[in-house]
Amino acid sequence: MTAWVDENWESVVARYKVTKVLHESKSLFQNVRVVDTAHYGHMLVLDGMVQTTEKDEFIYHEMMAHVPLLTHPNPKRVLIIGGGDGGVLREVLRHPGVEKAVQVEIDKVVIDVSREFLPTINNGAFEDPRAEVIVDDGAKYRRECTKPFDVVIVDSSDPIGPAKLLFIQQFYNHVCKSMGPEGIMTRQTGSSFMQPPELPEAYALGRNAFPHVTPYFMSVPTYIGGLFCGLMCSKKADPRLVTLDGLTDRAAKLLGGPLRYYTPGLHVGALEIPGYIREHFAAAGVDIDTEGPAINREITFGWELQLDLYDCDPAAISSGPKIQQYAKQLCDVIDMKAYGEPQTPYFGENCEHTKGFSLLQFIETSSVTGHFSEGTGAAYVNVFSCKPDDAEKAAAFTKQFFGARHMVSRLVTRK
């Protein structure tokens, strides 16, 4: 007799033909099954719901890891809550700058069966020296851990059973307060068709704790309902303002060979919110802005573009006249009126790390400032304006002018 995995969601059933049952048990928290399927290979099923499969796992795991880690300017410490199959951990460890990745999974059985039956998904990630795997309640661990994390990835099941505590306001508040100054949290928020209220509810909780909250989307064949939702919550940078240029530079440095789903272009496109999902927000009474960086432009004072440029042309950053030329040309690029001549004093002669020119140029709506480190070949430029300008154009011009090989850009809304 043919065996099937039947995944039931209210009035919808998805069926997968099973060729062999590899594991079946009841842990302290849930029913755990691993089956070999005719089409998707080995499949992990918890309490009757498909969690991951060998064939399509890369879509979810790449988007859960690389979207937040490539949005953050320099992630070194990463916390994964849940994710016992090890797929997100595997993708996190592709980032060469990550020094520590802590995975906290409440159910040891999930980790054990994933090691045994899903080795192609974790692919040795549990044994990586940068990884630490802890069996504990993720919310409890986050409350008690004193060391801040740069990125927190909540790879949990839906808000039932042991995962409930990861979907309450106190969890969002504590994560925000205990992260580094540029911290980013990301989480899955369910199927856009099968669970339409879940994303607006999570968004509202995130907005109560974080300055910037941004949905993003991915299509995972075995996640019932098709288009699946993620949510990024950021303490500093608006995730919608990443640039293709910056993402491409950093994605090229990832370890472990080519990615199978994530691309910088797909990253940018995944941040676009479909009209029917905006309808879900309206039905839930949750306001969301999709037109620009500000949630409410009526109370926005201005926008601060922060540019960190690395491996710059030494001749460009060590010349006062050249930096003054940059300030004047930038005003033309962003259509801003300059007030007075740019000032470029030389500071920090006693410190190799900081010595170099600084820049101050008053403009019609505020100022352009910067510091240019001769010792490190880096430049740090801020463009603050009370009038909206083309931040992407300003960033691209600045990178080209100073010959920077790498750039991290952030646009901060000031209220």
Return the SS3 of 375: coil
- Whether 274 and 312 share a structural domain: no
- Whether 178 and 261 share a structural domain: yes
- Whether 338 and 359 share a structural domain: yes
CA-to-CA distance for 345 and 356, rounded, in angstroms? 9
Tell me the per-residue pLDDT of 284-307, one tens digit each, with 9 for 90 and over.
888 886 433 333 333 457 778 899
- Whether 136 and 272 share a structural domain: yes
Pull the structure tokens for residue 333. Answer: 């690029």
Q: Which range is least confidently modeled, 7-21, 178-192, 384-398?
A: 384-398
Tell me the per-residue pLDDT of 213-240, one tens digit each, with 9 for 90 and over.
999 999 999 998 889 999 999 999 899 9
What single DSSP character describes residue 339? E
The CATH number of residue 47's host domain is 2.30.140.10
Q: Which of 239, 269, 292 is the last residue of a domain?
A: 292
- Whether 36 and 176 share a structural domain: no
- When divided into structural domains, the chain yields a total of 3
Q: Which of 267, 292, 317 is the last residue of a domain?
A: 292
- Whether 82 and 175 share a structural domain: yes
Average pLDDT along the chain: 90
Q: Which of 272, 292, 312 is the last residue of a domain?
A: 292
Candidate list 56, 150, 155, 249, residue with the active-site label: 155
Instruction: With a cut of 90, say whether residue 317 has pLDDT above it.
Output: yes
- Whether 15 and 149 share a structural domain: no
- Whether 35 and 86 share a structural domain: no
* Residue that wins the pLDDT comparison between 290 and 152: 152
CA-to-CA distance for 205 and 199, rounded, in angstroms? 10
- Whether 221 and 366 share a structural domain: no
Instruction: With a cut of 70, say whether residue 1 has pLDDT above it.
Output: no
Region 9-25: what's the mean pLDDT?
Answer: 93
Q: What percent of the chain has pLDDT over 90?
A: 67
What single DSSP character describes residue 147? S
- The reply to whether 136 belongs to the active site is no
Q: What is the pLDDT of residue 164?
A: 63
What single DSSP character describes residue 63? H
- Whether 384 and 257 share a structural domain: no
Range of the domain at 375: 299-414
- Whether 216 and 161 share a structural domain: yes
Instruction: With a cut of 50, say whether residue 12 has pLDDT above it.
Output: yes
Tell me the per-residue pLDDT of 78-119, one tens digit each, with 9 for 90 and over.
999 999 999 999 999 999 999 999 999 999 999 999 999 999
What single DSSP character describes residue 274? P
Tracing tokens 């808000």 back to the chain, one arrives at 159
- Whether 284 and 339 share a structural domain: no
